[in-house]
Copies of this chain bind each other. A is one copy, B any other.
Amino acid sequence: MSESSTLRPTRQRRAITEALAGASDFQSAQDIHDSLRQAGEKVGLATVYRTLQAMADAGEVDVLQGSGGESAYRRCSTHHHHHLVCRSCGRTVEVTGPAVESWAEAVARDHDFAEVSHSLELFGICADCRQQ
């Protein structure tokens, strides 16, 4: 938990950042660890976890909760948005939903809740996967 102290740009940190930049879809910490391995970069698994967590705290990456207790990370634009994920191939599309945002706020107001945030993910089968 290194608060907002000093973050050092180390080799490992850079490698992980690049691995995320190169991937188009969500990847688990272990996926990233494997990628780095194959790319010849030696980075400890614990370091991958720690770094990913730090990046998530800093809002540099998005976190998606898998159903098996594992988290998937993805480098993301900073503005608020959601994802449409293909259940079959994992392809991900970034989507925004103004309608949802305002709806969420209205609901929160109705029930007198403050500091409302929301998590929303859409799942389906993409056109490509349907064809075969």
Indicate which residue in B70, B95, B100, B112 contacts A100 across the interface (CB closer than 8 Å): B100
Interface 1/0 per residue, A86-114 and B, CB below 8 Å: 11000001010101100110011001111
Interface size of A by CB at 8 A reads 35
- Which 7 pairs across A and B sit closest by C-beta, in order of nearness? A69-B69, A113-B124, A116-B124, A112-B127, A120-B120, A99-B103, A118-B122
CB distance from A129 to the nearest CB of B (A): 9
Given contacts A67-B65, A70-B69, contact A121 B119 (CB under 8 A): yes
Copies in the complex: 2
Complex-state Cα separation, A112 to B127, whole angstroms? 6
Interface check A115, CB cutoff 8 A: yes
Tell me whether A45 is interfacial, beta carbon within 8 Å: no
Residues in A lying within 8 Å of B, measured CB to CB: 65-67, 69-70, 84, 86-87, 93, 95, 97, 99-100, 103-104, 107-108, 111-127, 130
Complex contact B123–A117 (CB within 8 A): yes
A103 touching B100, Cβ below 8 Å: yes
A99-B100, A123-B116 are contacts. A111–B130 as well, Cβ < 8 Å? no
